[in-house]
């Protein structure tokens, strides 16, 4: 029972969670071994590591339900200041053409007030060519790839709270890159390929680039809300070949059709959350009006008449990707089935009172089925909120602690990718594929 802001925390996972070998070698700030002797070989399991990463959830008692927690995000804008250098990547895929922006966290620098940086978010400027050309490194520092929520970007408050502890870690500070969705965070739209809930192609390209550019860095993933859905789909699509060592998602809507129906079924969902999200997406499209007219056949007059997110998806996602209805898009882009194909340590952080990524859409059965996955569900917290007394954000603690424990304590190279088939055994000649989709995404035509 919740009392005075103290939320309960529940974990859902396989009865036989993934076993993890621990390492005993300390590392210095450059990510190299300091020569300390290894401790005797020890093991833990993924569920235990997730529990150990999750502190007591004490939230602000005045924000005593998911609506208050979620709406308080419009007021509480304080967050750690994180500085970025931006690089525009040109898509290297024949089908998913265009460009997208990646923001790399860097040490604080003095604002140079360059004209080319004027449209970017605060504390963000473009890499100069020489600086980016020399970005490659052979160090072994952990590197995190981050995906933000709907219409957001690297500047988001909920995101910066999670990144700051990793950047400031005394024992092993992280390298971090935020993959901005196309057209978001002051980036441009340069083709008819926009982003959707299955838009895994940009994070896939960045992961491949990072693997080649930083061959010794272990890669990790972090996603929020829509970005959590995309990251879950990506990790599932990659399966045992995923270049990431581990991933964590926060506020994932998982089953988009269920989440959407729940939003439409109640007053707050229809008249507040759906309307705000729809308005934000409409503003995003209008911000890129000329590019939309040049690269797509979208009807801007119809788009400007929409009021809700599902109406936006009907007018934008359906004609862009060939879905007959927004419901077909939601069913196809949901990430709940992708959980079954994940083969890296994977944690999901959700709030039971989240009014957007609703608990009814969480695939509890899939978490129980796959030993590589663990669900952490708090009874309070809202959507990407979890406001503590004094203004802190509780979710930053389990996120940063899970990632740091994986990087510092776990022998990442010893994690098996070929456990017994975690999918249900099937009759001969019958083939269930968790990744079978209606919209075919060709991952090979690069």
Give the active site residues: 225, 354, 383
Nearest to 192 by CA among 277, 89, 91, 278: 91
Kindly give the residue spans of alpha helices, DSSP state H, lying in 109-221.
129-133, 157-167, 201-213
Secondary structure letter of residue 3 according to DSSP: B
Distance CA 398, CA 166 (A): 12
| CA 347-352-353 angle, 5° bins | 135
- Answer whether 174's CB lies under 8 Å from 141's CB: yes
Distance CA 91, CA 179 (A): 13
Other CB atoms within 10 A of residue 152 CB: 23
Distance CA 308, CA 266 (A): 14
Distance CA 85, CA 124 (A): 6
Distance CA 59, CA 70 (A): 13
Location of structure tokens 């004209």? 115
Q: What is the length of the chain?
A: 446
Instruction: Give the DSSP H or E segment for 310.
Output: helix 309-315
């Amino acid at each position: 029972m919740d009392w005075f802001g103290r939320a309960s925390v529940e974990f859902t996972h396989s009865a036989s969670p993934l076993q993890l070998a621990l390492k005993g070698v300390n590392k210095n700030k450059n990510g190299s071994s300091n020569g300390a002797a290894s401790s005797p070989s020890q093991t833990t399991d993924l569920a235990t590591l997730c529990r150990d990463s999750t502190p007591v959830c004490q939230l602000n008692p005045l924000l005593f339900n998911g609506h208050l927690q979620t709406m308080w995000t419009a007021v509480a804008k304080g967050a750690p200041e994180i500085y970025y250098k931006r690089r525009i990547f040109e898509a290297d895929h024949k089908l998913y053409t265009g460009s997208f922006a990646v923001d790399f966290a860097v040490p604080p620098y003095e604002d140079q007030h360059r004209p080319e940086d004027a449209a970017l978010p605060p504390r963000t400027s473009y890499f100069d060519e020489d600086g980016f050309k020399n970005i490659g490194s052979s160090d072994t520092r952990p590197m995190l790839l981050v995906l933000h929520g709907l219409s957001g970007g690297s500047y988001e408050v909920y995101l910066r709270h999670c990144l700051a502890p990793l950047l400031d870690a005394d024992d092993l500070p992280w390298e971090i890159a935020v993959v901005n969705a196309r057209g978001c965070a002051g980036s441009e739209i340069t083709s008819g390929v926009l982003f959707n809930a299955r838009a895994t192609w940009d994070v896939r390209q960045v992961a491949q680039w990072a693997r080649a550019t930083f061959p010794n860095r272990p890669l990790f993933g972090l996603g929020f809300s829509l970005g959590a859905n995309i990251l879950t789909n990506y990790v599932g699509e990659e399966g045992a070949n995923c270049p990431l060592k581990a991933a964590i998602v926060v506020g994932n809507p998982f089953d988009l059709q269920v989440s959407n129906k729940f939003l439409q079924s109640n007053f707050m969902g229809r008249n507040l959350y759906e309307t705000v999200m729809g308005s934000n997406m409409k503003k995003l499209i209008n911000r890129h009006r000329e590019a939309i007219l040049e690269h797509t056949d979208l009807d801007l007059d119809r788009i400007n008449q929409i009021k809700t997110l599902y109406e936006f998806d009907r007018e934008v996602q359906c004609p862009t990707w060939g879905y007959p209805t927004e419901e077909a898009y939601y069913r196809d882009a949901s990430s709940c089935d992708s959980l079954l194909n994940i083969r890296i340590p994977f944690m999901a952080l959700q709030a039971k009172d989240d009014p957007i990524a609703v608990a009814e859409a969480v695939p509890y059965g899939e978490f129980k089925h796959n030993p590589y996955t663990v669900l952490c569900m708090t009874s309070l917290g809202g959507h990407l909120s979890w406001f503590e007394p004094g203004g802190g954000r509780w979710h930053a603690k389990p996120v940063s602690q899970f990632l740091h424990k994986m990087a510092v304590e776990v022998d990442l190279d010893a994690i098996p990718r070929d456990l017994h088939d975690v999918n249900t055994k099937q009759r001969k000649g019958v083939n269930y594929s968790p990744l079978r989709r209606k919209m075919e995404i060709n991952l090979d035509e690069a």
